[in-house]
Amino acid sequence: MGRTSDAREKLLAAALDLIWTSSYGGVSVDDICVRAGVNKGSFYHFFPSKSDLAVAAYEAHWQEKRPAMDAVFSSQNPPLDRLIAWCRCIQEGQSEKHEQYGFVVGCPYANVGSELATQDPKIRAKTQEMLDRGFRYIEAAIADAQRQGLIDVADATAAAKQVSSCVLGLLIQAKIENDPGLLSELEPTMMRLLGAKIVAA
């Protein structure tokens, strides 16, 4: 039925990339179309609006990253190792982006969430959903660590909230200071928050 196209996927990738390294408001529909090599008419053939594209782009990004996250947070790995491996992923990811663009770009979800939380309910809800998906990995890892007596926390869910907030905060701080080095605090902050009983060398 009719012709096929990869324009949709190219638009999703271009949108994610441009918005991540700039901001939602700082990127125009034309910018995205140029980067994707697609005409604006095609854009509106696939997406009803700029904000719908953004929502779809985040969903696509998550689906792409999910296997890696599943691997890092696999129940096969010791719970604290999962968290430590995740810290490394963040550090490496941000360092890569920093080399590539000259900027610490931060968390794509939190970036637009913070920018548009008071302006676009659809995007606010989507970013909350994305952050919540990440949160569940952390929560599970912390609950496991608690069960195994590796950490000193009373409420695993509350501790997970604290940990995820700290990660978000460090990413913002690193972005504002444009210093990926701040992210080396990720692991120690986390371990301190959890009262981890054994500190890895």
Partner DNA sequence: GAATTATTTGACCGTCCGGTTAACTGGTGA
Partner DNA sequence: TCACCAGTTAACCGGACGGTCAAATAATTC
Q: Which is nearer to DNA, 2 or 149 (CB)?
A: 2
- What the block records as the tokens of 42 is 């095609």
* Interaction of residue 23 with a copy of itself, rule CB under 8 A: yes
Cβ atoms within 10 Å of 11's Cβ, excluding its own: 25
Q: Which is nearer to DNA, 46 or 103 (CB)?
A: 46
Q: Which is nearer to DNA, 49 or 75 (CB)?
A: 49
* Interaction of residue 2 with DNA, rule CB under 7 A: yes
* Interaction of residue 119 with DNA, rule CB under 7 A: no
Task: Provide the residue type at 61 as one letter.
Answer: H
Measure the CA angle with vertex 176, ends 171 and 179; round to 5°.
Answer: 70
First to last CA, the chain: 60
* Interaction of residue 15 with DNA, rule CB under 7 A: no
Measure the CA angle with vertex 199, ends 93 and 85; round to 5°.
Answer: 25
Q: Which is nearer to DNA, 76 or 118 (CB)?
A: 118
Q: Contacting DNA (CB under 7 A), which of 38, 83, 90, 153?
A: 38
User: Which window, 30-38, 120-128, 173-181, 184-192, contacts DNA (CB under 7 A)?
Assistant: 30-38
Cβ atoms within 10 Å of 48's Cβ, excluding its own: 9
* Interaction of residue 122 with DNA, rule CB under 7 A: no
